[in-house]
Structure 1
Amino acid sequence: MATVVQSLCLGLLVGALTLACSHSVVNRPETPTDGCELIDHEGGKTEICGQPQTIVAIGPNGLELLLALDVQPIGYADYYALPFTDFDQPQSQIPYLGERLTGPLKKVGTWDSPSIEAIVQLKPDLIVGSALANQAQYSLLSQAAPTLLLAYGVEDEWQTQLRQLAKVLGRSEKAEQVIADHTQRVAATRKQLRPYVQNYPQVLVLASEQVEQAIALENSDSRCGGLLEDLGFELLAPDQIGTAGPGRNNISLELLPQLKSDWIFLLAWSTDFSNVETEIEQQQIAAVQKQWRENGIAQSLPASKTNQVYFHSAYVCRALPGPIGTELILEQLQADLLPPVNPTQ
């Protein structure tokens, strides 16, 4: 997605920021003032004074880490342009993370186009943003409040970021508990899935919005691909692409029959939110699921014939690379691959 700053309002916003903010962190000191700390992050160095209480999260990966630390923000910008004026009922409005929110949030634009004006009105004392999407707005955001930009934390990077946020928020003990729980959860799932891994070791991890137009092959550098490898599965890819390098590569639909996968993990997404009453998981996968079932090449694959193609929202794998996203993925895999538990046994 292209980063957008609304140029028509830029001059007005700069003026508003100058008047509305009691502090400015654009000209950052080399050493912190008394009672403050300089925090290194992807955007540079930011001075944090005291323990932030009112926080704006730009992007689901930042919100995920805050919620993992039991911190409730006051404003939020999602990855998608969700069709809500504000998140007054976040439990049903914000994908996957909403059920962990205890109160309403102010909507402050989107991940790659946050509303500086809306953020200023909230008077936050910390903004958690994305290095991938918010570098262009960093100067303006920093005038609204001290701003930390986080990298997209695949593998163990999210743990570093969680510890960094926890230090700022006075929740270091909670961060260590979250990391320990994550490690234990992955190990337990690896053990549970071992029989399935032994019988069906080879997996294709695919992602698509339009099956016949474009399919991406996710590899070990992607969030879900790396997690499946950690669980013992072997990721498949054509020789000319391989399973290392960038997290995903486009692949021709016609190449899939060459890859004799035991099963397929298919990540789907949709930017059509015209029916906001639909449950988010089903809304995200419905179109791709239909396209797959109507495509002759897709249906010729062994995994399709044995009903071992599992559809899930790409949002979880791509937007939530931390502990909550991992927990959701592991729950999905257990539901997909393990035999149902008979409560009478």
Structure 2
Amino acid sequence: MVTVVQALSLGLLVGALTLACGTTGNRPDASTPTSGCERIKHDGGETEICRQPQTIVAIGPNVLELLLALDIQPVGYADYYALPFTDFDQPQSQIPYLGERLTGQVTKVGTWNSPSLEAILKLKPDLIVGSTLANQGQYSLLSQAAPTLLFSYGAKKGWQTQLRLLAKVLNRSEKAEQVIATHNQLVAEARKKLQPTVQKYPQVLLLASEQLEQGLAVENSGSRCGGLLENLGFKLLAPKNIGTEGPGRNNISLELLPKLKSDWILFLAWNTDFSDAGPDLEKQQISAVRQQWQENEIAQSLPASKSNQVYFHSAYVCRALPGPIGTELLLEQFQADLLPSVSDPTP
């Protein structure tokens, strides 16, 4: 939520910012010709951009992913989590999964659903990119700081379309097509490599939780990871007429798991407590749930547990990185988990 002080600060400071073609967000200055400007339609509205942006703020890991895929380095970033750092002075070790692709210091500008307008204004950006899910209510204020684009956030919202639009604004259209082609090739190669696994272990149960006692989500093809697994040829098991139906998932109790007969289980875990976060974020995210699973009688009674075919990974990659980099990371995880479990096919 934007405070009154932030709003007043924005009103005082935004006039001092020299933005593209004299625009203030979506509204051009009446004294400035806009013949070289272009109005860009995006999921959050329509924005006028008059020159190729150079100083970009990324609100959300899904946005950072798209920028990095285009080889664009932002000056400011807001993560999904309230990461315990005053600033991202060492982003390679501070920003989950994407940090190693950043080449320099990045200013922390709050979190994706609560960005700091004050921090953003100090950077004097000429483009802000965020998400409709988190930032639609802040769109008007953000647009006064700089031209702002908002993208829908979800597994089936078409990151390829978003990438192409962003690439058009940033004059990286050729790069975008290369990224999409590489993505398609990686998926096709993984599908071919995993075909013996699909034939031997076709049925997968996709679970997600932070604490087992709080319940479980059984994700289906409408979720990010579920859709990718089905694209690779696996069949996702989903509860019928039990639990609470939701977009991409069903919420069920642990006691119902034995009714879902799976060949293997992929468990997406997370931990919102970063107070003890060390250098191994993946371990920090999954360690509590994995221990709870190992100590639970019902969980250990499942055939997948008995055959050591329960694989734990951070939910961050599936849920926060719906684009090409997240896909690459997931394909690496799936192949590392599953390829060693398949014996050499009989000639």
Shorter-chain TM-score tier: over 0.9
Is this contact kept in 2: 1:21–1:143, CA < 8 A? no
1:71 maps to amino acid? I
> What is the correspondence of 1:27-176 to structure 2 with a 5 Å cutoff?
27=27, 33-155=34-156, 157-176=158-177
User: How much has 1:5 moved relative to structure 2?
Assistant: 2.7
Work out the CA distance in 1 between the residues paired with 2:80 and 2:107: 15
Is this contact kept in 2: 1:52–1:169, CA < 8 A? yes
Work out the CA distance in 2 between the residues paired with 1:156 and 1:323: 13
Q: Deviations over 1:59-81 (max 9, x none)?
A: 00000000000000000000000
With over 3 angstroms needed to count, the CA separation of the structure-2 counterparts of 1:153 and 1:208, relative to structure 1, is closer
SS of 2:210's equivalent?
Answer: strand
User: How much has 1:7 moved relative to structure 2?
Assistant: 4.3
User: How much has 1:274 moved relative to structure 2?
Assistant: 1.0
Q: Deviations over 1:91-112 (max 9, x none)?
A: 0000000000000000000000
Is this contact kept in 1: 2:10–2:121, CA < 8 A? no
Aligned twin of 1:9: 6
Unaligned 5+ runs, structure 1? none
Is this contact kept in 1: 2:10–2:145, CA < 8 A? no
Q: Deviations over 1:103-150 (max 9, x none)?
A: 000000000000001000000100010110001111110011000001
Q: Over aligned residues, Cα RMSD in angstroms?
A: 2.0
Work out the CA distance in 1 between the residues paired with 2:306 and 2:28: 60
> What is the correspondence of 1:181-200 to structure 2 with a 5 Å cutoff?
181-200=182-201
Is this contact kept in 2: 1:87–1:106, CA < 8 A? yes
User: How much has 1:16 moved relative to structure 2?
Assistant: 2.8
Aligned twin of 1:179: 180
User: How much has 1:12 moved relative to structure 2?
Assistant: 3.2
Aligned twin of 2:345: none
Aligned twin of 2:222: 221
Q: Do structure 1's residue 232 and structure 2's residue 233 form an aligned pair? A: yes
Is this contact kept in 1: 2:127–2:146, CA < 8 A? yes
TM-score (norm 2): 0.92
Work out the CA distance in 2 between the residues paired with 1:88 and 1:296: 45
Unaligned 5+ runs, structure 2? 343-347
User: How much has 1:319 moved relative to structure 2?
Assistant: 0.1
Work out the CA distance in 1 between the residues paired with 2:134 and 2:18: 23
Aligned twin of 2:296: 295
Choose 273-282 or 166-175, whichever is displaced more.
273-282
SS of 2:153's equivalent?
Answer: coil
Work out the CA distance in 2 between the residues paired with 1:8 and 1:255: 51
SS of 1:82's equivalent?
Answer: coil
With over 3 angstroms needed to count, the CA separation of the structure-2 counterparts of 1:40 and 1:175, relative to structure 1, is same
Q: Deviations over 1:257-292 (max 9, x none)?
A: 000100000000001111232411111111111111
Work out the CA distance in 2 between the residues paired with 1:155 and 1:225: 11
User: How much has 1:10 moved relative to structure 2?
Assistant: 2.9
Aligned twin of 1:254: 255
Choose 325-334 or 289-298, whichever is displaced more.
289-298
User: How much has 1:20 moved relative to structure 2?
Assistant: 3.8
TM-score (norm 1): 0.93
1:25 maps to amino acid? G
2:211 maps to amino acid? Q
Work out the CA distance in 2 between the residues paired with 1:314 and 1:284: 8
SS of 2:41's equivalent?
Answer: strand
Choose 245-254 or 131-140, whichever is displaced more.
245-254
User: How much has 1:214 moved relative to structure 2?
Assistant: 1.9
Work out the CA distance in 1 between the residues paired with 2:195 and 2:76: 42
2:13 maps to amino acid? A
SS of 1:133's equivalent?
Answer: helix
- Among the aligned pairs, what percent are the same residue? 73
User: How much has 1:43 moved relative to structure 2?
Assistant: 1.3
Choose 250-259 or 324-333, whichever is displaced more.
250-259
Work out the CA distance in 2 between the residues paired with 1:293 and 1:7: 49
User: How much has 1:249 moved relative to structure 2?
Assistant: 2.2
Work out the CA distance in 1 between the residues paired with 2:319 and 2:164: 21
SS of 1:212's equivalent?
Answer: helix
Q: Deviations over 1:5-58 (max 9, x none)?
A: 3345333333333444553134479xx921111100111100011111110000
Work out the CA distance in 1 between the residues paired with 2:324 and 2:154: 11
Work out the CA distance in 2 between the residues paired with 1:286 and 1:262: 23
SS of 2:136's equivalent?
Answer: coil
Work out the CA distance in 2 between the residues paired with 1:268 and 1:181: 28
Work out the CA distance in 2 between the residues paired with 1:209 and 1:6: 31
User: How much has 1:156 moved relative to structure 2?
Assistant: 6.6
Name the count of aligned residue pairs: 336
User: How much has 1:217 moved relative to structure 2?
Assistant: 1.2
